[in-house]
Structures are given as structure tokens and as C-alpha cells.
Structure 1
Amino acid sequence: MIPSNNIEALRESISSGGKTAQTVVEASLDAAERLNETLNAFLQIDRAGALKRAAEIDESAGSNDESSPLAGIPIAIKDNICVRGLQASCGSRILGPYQPPYSATVIERLEQAGAIIIGKTNCDEFAMGSSNENSAYGPVRNPWDTTRVPGGSSGGSAAAVAAGIVPTALGSETGGSVRQPAALCGIVGLKPTYGRFSRYGLVAFASSLDNIGVFGQTVMDVAAVTRVIAGRDPHDSTSADVPVPDYAAEIEREIKGARIGVPRSLFGEGLDAEVLASVEAAIEAYRELGAEIIDIELPHAKYCIAVYYIIATAEASSNLARFDGVRYGFRAEEAHTLREMYKRTRDEGFGAEVKRRIMLG
């Protein structure tokens, strides 16, 4: 595993000369290759590219540059986020080894900040699932107990962080796909407010709901990455044109006087007793720190799942219509007509869950 699971400690070690970026990245790559046989967290590991980038950082002054706050930090990227030169399979046979000709805006910002991408992580096909068992390339296993799932759809990224392979990773969330695997893997996961991160370069599932999210070992790690990738993007009209604060500084502020709403009507049947106990303990901790705890009602919450499935499936049906064997990715062989080629490509290329959601939409 990497020498430290903490971005702040790694940055201090690299900038002070205690370790080189190459040493840190090579340890991360070694861990990824060694553990992937068990976890199946990565679909592609880019050893050559990552070490080349690490050497460039060591040779330059980038590791001490304040404009490169993530210099030398290894990071993993969910396989539905475009990285130029690496595959973007979305966990699906229909895209397979497809390589996009451009990088997502969040990737460009990470690379400008000095972060080093070590590979692409496994995920439920087109981010449709909550266990990471819907990938065309096999399930991801939870590093705490390999007989259990890591959650999904960003299970590969969550498992990579939980296993200590990387201190941080990017995932995506449409209906829980960052927060749920973070919870199941015992790490920090952030789904930002819609529009905070650019979606340009994120392969669309349901455009009205899709978000890119961040995993980390600590809240500070997530804050460091969030500050780098947040902000307005002219390539994404839905990105928010609002200032990006210093999240780390905000974390250091005391929360005395803050008002926290607790929707206790959601603490009902189906909520695991251990989860409830953890939530109640967190609420009590906030109260002891001086926050004001207020019970609130979310009167429309009962409609959320129904609305989600209407919007998500309708938009998925539209977005995934582009995968037809003509433009890119997998194409069925021995089709005698264009219509037959469309039909066979989509039948052979998509998995059962994706087909189900397309038909529902």
C-alpha cells in the first residue's frame, strides 16, 4: 500500500523531499496490481503513464508549487469518466476498450493540480446498480470482507480507497452511487450539490440526476480534491457559476450555533439498528459541539423513489440510444441489415440491468 493514506501527509512528505512522487505512485501501483486479483477494483492500471507523470513532477518544481496542491498524489477514476488515452468502458461490453479523444473537465483540473491517475475503476454497468455486481467484468469485492459487496455503482473507486491503494478517487452518483459504497466501505464519500462539479466528460446515465463525486480516507482529503475540481465550466451549462470556497478552512471552523435538520420520519422500517445507532451517535456528537438539532419533515420524500425511477429510466433510454454499433465501441458480427446490426449489437452489448432500465424508460 502507499506510504500514507492521507493526502496532507503525502504532500508534506513529497514537498519536503522525504519521498518522491515516483516512490509514492509506484507503491500505489504495486498495491493496485497485487490486490486487484482479489478485489477486482480496477479495469485498467496505467503503470507507464502514471510513472511518467510522477517523474515529470519530481523533475520540476511542481511538488512545491502552491498551484499544484495535489502534486504527486495518486488517484483512481471511475470508468465512466473520460480520461484521454485510457479506456472508458462504463463497465459494459458495448463500449469495451473504447478510448475517448478528450478528458473530462474534472480530469483536466486534477492533472493541472498535479494529481496522478493510476487507473480506471470497475463499476456497475453505466452506473446502474447498488452492489457492483452488474459490471460486465465481474463484481468488486469489499476489502474489509471479500465475501461481501462494496456497494455501487462506484464500488471499484470505494474499494480502492478503503484498501489503501489510493488516498482518493472519483466516482459518480445518480441515486446513491457515491454515498452508499462509501458507507459500506467505511470511508468518506461526497455527492456535491448538482452543478458544483462539471459533468463534461461523464458518460451520461440520467443527465438531470448525474453528479461526479469524491471518495477519500478523510474529510480533509475530500475537501482538498473538491476545491480543485469545483467551479463553473463553459462546457457544461448546468455547472454553477458561484465562488469556490476554501473547504479545508471551513472544516476547521467550529459548528457551534449551526442548525441541523433531522428528518426522523425517514428513520422507520427497513433502517438497520446499527445504522440508526450510528446516526443517533452522530446527532448527539453535533449537539455536544454546540449545534442546534431540529426535527424536520420532508413531506415529498415519499415520492422520491417513484420520481427517481421515472426520470432516471426515461433519460437512460434516451442517453443510451447512441450506443448502436455505428459510432464507437462493440459491434455485433454477421448482421445482414442495418436494423439487425442495431438489434444484435444492443442485445449482445448491454447487460440485463441496463436493458431493464432502457425498457422501463
Structure 2
Amino acid sequence: MSSIQGTLAQWRDRLRRKELSPAELVNLTADAIEADRTTNAYISFDREAALRAAAAADTASPLAGIPIAVKDNINVLGQPTRCASRLLAPYASPYDATSIRLLKAAGGIPLGRTNMDEFAMGASGENSAYGVTRNPNAPDHIPGGSSSGSAAAVASATAIAALGSDTGGSIRQPAGHCGIVGLKPTYGRVSRYGLVAFASSLDQIGPMTRTVEDAAILLQAISGHDPKDSTSADEPVPDFEAALGRDVKGLKVGIPAEYFTSGNHPGISEAVQNTVKQLESLGAELVEISLPHADAVVAAYYIIACAEASSNLSRFDGVRYGKRAEDAAGLVELFSRTREEGFGPEVKRRIILGTYVLSSGYYDAYYSRA
């Protein structure tokens, strides 16, 4: 797997210098995926489709023909999009998500469908119908979730970079667990069109990479306004890569008092304090602030996310696409058996909770308050 060690920026430079071709890099990456017996980071990958894309790749483009791993809830034309669920096992996407269209336009090559917590519901990488994802740095520990496979692939050098999605930490947390860079973009910066929805008011697609520079390059490629997403921000995209390396002198950094509590692990508190001290030594201005609703954030998140999941996942009923229960006696049995057989336990729990907080008599008490 050491054959694809290196950053996206380094591989981009090598491709531009023609030290190797996009097809050779695709083969190196596919070989690394096949050699990995530890992480279960990928559900599947299509070497031949990637090689066809590599044959037409322009090495002068922003991503220069670099293969990029893709979380299994982002639609890629002609490839399975299963959300790591039995329910979508037979489904293959008839279109590209906007992020994938932009990735391809920038010269990126989608290679591999990465494992995840089913329908992005989980924080451990253990809730997949395709098996547990392992942390490449400590295989007996979780890699975090729900973008577990994308994080593990980048950390294990079976991907140069990857796309993940983040609703309540699903990029940031596994990136932290696996020791890589993960960024949840500002809501509206990256189109959600083609991302299988968990909680529509929270979901975002973002980069998972080895370095901040790589994250800037990948985010640049997938950002931009999209008329197909009504929540897409019609704002110009800055040059993220050009903004790297600037002096932080004079930058104001808010330090929320509520986040420095006795409930933190001592090692985490120490790491954060060390970072704060480093920012201060570099000239940043530290400002103590208060976020008085911090204690309610997790509860509010679970209510809002589960409510939206209950609504969004109602479309998976066995009628239009995906798994369909056999020999069902009528529509009601078709719906209930398809969902019972297709969804895993964590997804069912969240649908039940979301349906409850949206139900008559409880909507105002829970959902409206959240």
C-alpha cells in the first residue's frame, strides 16, 4: 500500500511533469485497494471504469487525472450507490451528483465506493451492512463515522483523497480518529444534489485528505452554485489554495467558555490548549465568548436530524427503486416488509425517534423547541 503514499498536490505535480500517467496512478491505487486486508474501507471499486476515465484525463486540469474515493451515499453515474444498506443493494445510479460532475470536470477520477455507517447514521463505522470499517492506525479501534471508509482509505494510503458527507460530525470525527484532515464546508458552499439525504438542513459534502493543502484543492474543485440545489449559495468561490500560508496575526479567534469543561478528556483539553497557545504566539487575538445553548446542542441535533431522516427515508418503500420484499400481500405489507428487511437497527431507531417527535401531540414539545 506504500505505492500511493504522498499528497494530492504531490501526485498532481508528478502527473503534470509526466513522470507517470493517470492510468498508471489508477492502477497503483486499485492495486493498493486489492492488497488491503485490514480496513474494509471500500465496499466496491471499478478499475476498468476508472481506466476509461483516465484515458481522457487532462493532466493540466486542477486535479490532473487523480483518482478520488467517494463515500457510498454520493451518486456516481453507472455505479452502485447503496449507502451501505441492504435496502439499496440492487441500485445503480443513473446520474452524477453535482459534486461528482464538478470533480470530473476538474480532472478527478471517481474510484471506489467507500464504506460508511448505513445511510450516514452512526459515529463508529460499525453500522454498515457490508461489515465494520477498521482504523488503519489501530485495527482494534473504531475509525469514527459515518464517513468511516473515506477516512480509513486516506489514512491507509488506499486513496489519495476522498469525498465524505457530514451531518453532525461525519467528516470531522472520523478524520480526527484516523489522523487526517476533514472539512465540513459552510452550508450551501457545495451542492447537495445527488447526495442521498439524511437530514437536509444539515448535510454537506466535503473533502477528506492528508493535508490542509489537499483539502483546499479538492474543495475548490467541488464548490459552486448549483440551480439543482435550492439551498446552494449563489456566492463566488474563493481561491482556497492561494489563501494558504497567510499570517494569522490580527485574526480574531473565539474561545467558547462552555467547551472547556471538566467533562473533556484531559488529553483533548491539553491538545486544544496547546493549539490556542500556538495561535496566540503567532499573533492571533483570542476572545473569550459564550455559547449559552451549548448544553442543548446534541439533544437539538438528534431531534432535528431524526425528524428529517424520518421524512427523507420514507421514499424507500420497495416501489420505485432498491430492494422489494417478495410475495407481499398488498401495498401495506410491501412497504413494511421491505423496510423491515432492508434497514439496519440504527436506521430503524432513528426513523422511529424522528416519527415520534413529528407526531401529533409531540411536534410542539420536541421538534418546534429543537
Q: TM-score range by the shorter chain?
A: over 0.9
Equivalent residue for 1:63, pick from 53, 59, 66 = 59
Task: Check if 1:330 corresponds to 2:326.
Answer: no
Task: Check if 1:206 corresponds to 2:202.
Answer: no
SS at 2:56 equivalent: helix
Which whole-Å CA distance do the structure 2 matches of 1:267 and 1:127 have between them?
Answer: 29
Mean Cα deviation higher: 174-183 or 14-23 = 14-23
Any conservation in 2 of the 1:95–1:329 contact (CA below 8 Å)?
A: yes
Task: Check if 1:280 corresponds to 2:276.
Answer: no
Aligned equivalent of 1:104? 97
Aligned equivalent of 1:248? 241
Which whole-Å CA distance do the structure 2 matches of 1:51 and 1:282 have between them?
Answer: 43
Equivalent residue for 2:183, pick from 146, 169, 190 = 190
Identity across matched positions, percent = 55
Any conservation in 2 of the 1:4–1:10 contact (CA below 8 Å)?
A: no
Which whole-Å CA distance do the structure 2 matches of 1:149 and 1:310 have between them?
Answer: 25
* Alignment map for 1:312-323 (pairs within 5 Å): 312-323=305-316
Any conservation in 2 of the 1:167–1:221 contact (CA below 8 Å)?
A: no
* Alignment map for 1:106-185 (pairs within 5 Å): 106-185=99-178
Which whole-Å CA distance do the structure 2 matches of 1:76 and 1:97 have between them?
Answer: 21
Residue 234 of structure 2 aligns to which amino acid in structure 1?
D
* Alignment map for 1:212-291 (pairs within 5 Å): 212-291=205-284
Residue 341 of structure 1 aligns to which amino acid in structure 2?
L
* Alignment map for 1:289-300 (pairs within 5 Å): 289-300=282-293
Which whole-Å CA distance do the structure 2 matches of 1:97 and 1:189 have between them?
Answer: 30
Which whole-Å CA distance do the structure 2 matches of 1:11 and 1:235 have between them?
Answer: 30
Which whole-Å CA distance do the structure 2 matches of 1:184 and 1:318 have between them?
Answer: 31
Residue 32 of structure 1 aligns to which amino acid in structure 2?
I
Mean Cα deviation higher: 281-290 or 201-210 = 281-290
Which whole-Å CA distance do the structure 2 matches of 1:51 and 1:32 have between them?
Answer: 15
Aligned equivalent of 2:357? none
Aligned equivalent of 2:340? 347
Aligned length in residues:
353
Any conservation in 2 of the 1:41–1:159 contact (CA below 8 Å)?
A: yes
Which whole-Å CA distance do the structure 1 matches of 2:221 and 2:132 have between them?
Answer: 31
Structure 2: 5+ residue runs without aligned partners? 355-370
Deviations 1:87-131 (A, max 9, x none): 110011111131111110000000011111111100001000000
Aligned equivalent of 1:11? 12
Any conservation in 2 of the 1:53–1:116 contact (CA below 8 Å)?
A: yes
Deviations 1:233-266 (A, max 9, x none): 0000101111111111212211111010111321
Residue 14 of structure 1 aligns to which amino acid in structure 2?
L
Any conservation in 1 of the 2:4–2:159 contact (CA below 8 Å)?
A: no
Q: Which runs of at least 4 in structure 1 moved beyond 6 Å after TM superposition?
A: none
Which whole-Å CA distance do the structure 1 matches of 2:150 and 2:264 have between them?
Answer: 25
Aligned equivalent of 1:42? 42
Which whole-Å CA distance do the structure 2 matches of 1:100 and 1:175 have between them?
Answer: 25
Task: Check if 1:80 corresponds to 2:76.
Answer: no
Residue 14 of structure 2 aligns to which amino acid in structure 1?
S
Any conservation in 2 of the 1:260–1:292 contact (CA below 8 Å)?
A: yes
Aligned equivalent of 2:360? none
SS at 2:287 equivalent: strand
Residue 203 of structure 2 aligns to which amino acid in structure 1?
D
Any conservation in 2 of the 1:152–1:177 contact (CA below 8 Å)?
A: yes
Residue 51 of structure 1 aligns to which amino acid in structure 2?
L
Which whole-Å CA distance do the structure 2 matches of 1:155 and 1:262 have between them?
Answer: 29
Mean Cα deviation higher: 346-355 or 259-268 = 259-268
Residue 55 of structure 2 aligns to which amino acid in structure 1?
A
Which whole-Å CA distance do the structure 1 matches of 2:113 and 2:4 have between them?
Answer: 21
Structure 1: 5+ residue runs without aligned partners? none
Which whole-Å CA distance do the structure 2 matches of 1:3 and 1:319 have between them?
Answer: 38
Deviations 1:204-256 (A, max 9, x none): 01101111121000000000011111111000010111111111121221111
Q: CA deviation at 1:4?
A: 3.9
Residue 174 of structure 1 aligns to which amino acid in structure 2?
T
Any conservation in 2 of the 1:132–1:139 contact (CA below 8 Å)?
A: yes
Any conservation in 2 of the 1:134–1:353 contact (CA below 8 Å)?
A: yes
SS at 2:69 equivalent: strand
Residue 240 of structure 2 aligns to which amino acid in structure 1?
Y
